[in-house]
Amino acid sequence: MELELRGGGFLLAEVSPEQVYVREELNEDHMQLKRMTHNFMSKEVAPKIEQMEEQEEGVVREFMRQAGELGLLALEVPEEFGGLALDKASTVVVGEEVPLGGSFAVAYAAHTGIGTLPKMSWSLPKMW
């Protein structure tokens, strides 16, 4: 059984070439996810960057709700917990587009990284 690497695990374990993210190997699903995220960030979020910076009430909450409806808040979450169970490359292509939304990227990263993954970490295999 090949150990699934998470986080910085690649720094401590031997990594096979198959485990390395290579942009040229993205499939059409990855590219569709990237386009969808780009459209959401550029058409919905980016036009309201100034409102976010002014901390207008409800703006970020609404974007988080929309991101959730698009599935962007549970990319790597297992299906049994309501997630999409996508691969790391999917997370990377989404992560490349999220900064288009200015400070929304911080809220997104805090929710999907700091907030969501630790809550489900008890179900994940041990990395070391």
Condensed to tens digits (0 to 9), the pLDDT of residues 45-73 reads 999 999 999 999 999 999 999 999 999 99
pLDDT score recorded for residue 128: 42
**Cβ atoms within 10 Å, residue 52:** 19
Domain boundaries, the chain: 7-123
pLDDT score recorded for residue 6: 66
Token pair in block for residue 85? 């169970």
Q: What's the CATH class of domain 7-123?
A: mainly alpha
CA distances from 52 to 63, 69, 94, 102, 107 (A): 10, 20, 20, 9, 11
Length of the chain (residues): 128
pTM for this entry = 0.77
pLDDT score recorded for residue 7: 65
